Structure 1
């Protein structure tokens, strides 16, 4: 059974989803891949897991670093799961690049190289926005690219974490 709840954040409304194991989704309304993979027969109710996720988000959006992670249960390929675990290791207020994650995975798998674009695809399909911090991944040149919730939300999340923003820029639309 999948349970859902709504959360009102300072950046817009969010839909949260969980099963009996953990949080399966946290999407900003209207974001790319909104509610991807979410079954039609969900039950809207407040479960302990959804309450924990809301408590985490309350702390986070108050400008503080939460000292816990709610139970997580994202579905995805083995590669996506590996990337999402790396995202969870990016410290609050810091960033990394798609290339750095690719290099880390290549080293771990004893490969000569790994595609930063493949990493970008996995990051972009993260179903648990904010809590699995895909907003902390930037382009090698400092481009604030690749956030399914939109670049403006990515900027606001990084600013909320008091990330040093002087080296970053928003990509120009072509």
Structure 2
């Protein structure tokens, strides 16, 4: 009788440990990602797995002068830090000089603003995904993701760097898949 009770106690402990491990696997937020959420509702539309302190870019065609713009960012400590801006025209909607400690230069016919190390990170980025010309793309690890394919053209999204659980990720579209 004592041997049977000990056997059930061991089995119960093993089951409890397996359930705790499974719950941790599903519910503990350990996936660092860029989220693309619908602005008004916060609905997770898509996400891109990214390592913390890693760079990504947003590339698009400017709607007025129809030239390429690339914005460089770093996902750091749950924020998005601007790193650099590269563009071809200083016309409508684009800066003609750097501010504060940032640097401004021209290289290979393109204007480049490099942000200082002291640049203030953003909690999130807000973006209206272009319907016609913009062709907003996110570039990470030499892979390009056309945003309208994941969130829809004309959608207003909030881009954020977050840690999420596997359970939370089941609600969105993994851009790597």
TM-score above 0.5, yes or no: no
Higher strand share: 2
Indicate the structure (1 or 2) with the bigger Cα radius of gyration: 2
- With normalisation by structure 1, the TM-score equals 0.24
TM-score by length of 2: 0.24
- Specify which structure has the bigger relative contact order, considering alpha-carbon pairs within 8 angstroms and separated by 6 or more residues: 2
